[in-house]
Amino acid sequence: MEDIQKKNEDTKKRLIEAAGELFARRGFRSATVREICSLAGAHVGAVNYHFRDKEGLYEAVLEHSHQLAMRRYPPDLGLGNGATPEEKLRAYIHSFLLRILAEGFPAWHGKLMAREISDPTGALGQLVKSSIRPLHLYLAGIIRELFQEADSSNEEESDVTFLCAMSIVGQCLHYFKGKQVIAALSPNGFDPFRIERLTDHITRFSLGGIRALRSAGTGGSAVNRRCLPEREGPPGGSKK
């Protein structure tokens, strides 16, 4: 009995890994069950047996890869309790880029999430609930800190906080979805794997925008609108 259970778990693991690779590379609709089973070395009926159908396998891949990605690339990247909001923002952006641009597993999750956002399937609702919303709330808290709001832990968002979060995430996603166009436009060539450089640029650009909003007196329930402190060099340094 234990041998059968162990064999079943091994088959499920191989199916998830094979499906993750194909879904990330080609998308949910293009990857076929036959291709997944062939790559996993499993019988073509194994997907239905273990996961109900292709959609059930896709949901299992998203959940599994999300858990691994969060352990490897947490949104704070291990910053200590004394980290500044600028350092937190840089870590968040760095971790996001690592999840969607870095090669190999568990970077699949970021690629799958980016594909799901641009070409949704029936799994989008669950993905928003389990993955996207918690990350969004964490980012919104950092933005409230940057606006120096009275209670930065309050999860109630202003329109400005929400739009700032969307702008930051949108910049990160652009370098994933627009890689080919960006490479064609870049006069000096574009390497999407220079993640540190992209992290520094998006962080500086985003902090500049937030400073401008605060200087203009815009930003939710912020009570203190002094300009954010200027920093020399990349915010938070070049932590890896």
Ordered by start, the domain boundaries in the chain are: 2-51, 70-215
State the average pLDDT over residues 63-72. Answer: 83
State the average pLDDT over residues 149-162. Answer: 69
Q: What pLDDT is attached to residue 227?
A: 40
pLDDT at residue 228 tops 60: no
In whole angstroms, give the CA distance from residue 160 to residue 119. 26
The model's pTM is 0.77
Domains 2-51 and 70-215 are alike in CATH topology:
no
State the average pLDDT over residues 54-70. Answer: 87
- CB 102, CB 172: distance < 8 Å: no
The answer to whether the Cα torsion of 77, 83, 87, 93 is positive or negative is positive
pLDDT at residue 231 tops 60: no
pLDDT digits (tens, 9 = 90+) for 165-197: 999 999 998 988 888 888 888 877 667 668 999
State the average pLDDT over residues 104-129. Answer: 76
State the average pLDDT over residues 17-45. Answer: 92
CATH class of the domain comprising 2-51 = mainly alpha
CATH class of the domain comprising 70-215 = mainly alpha
In whole angstroms, give the CA distance from residue 61 to residue 110. 12
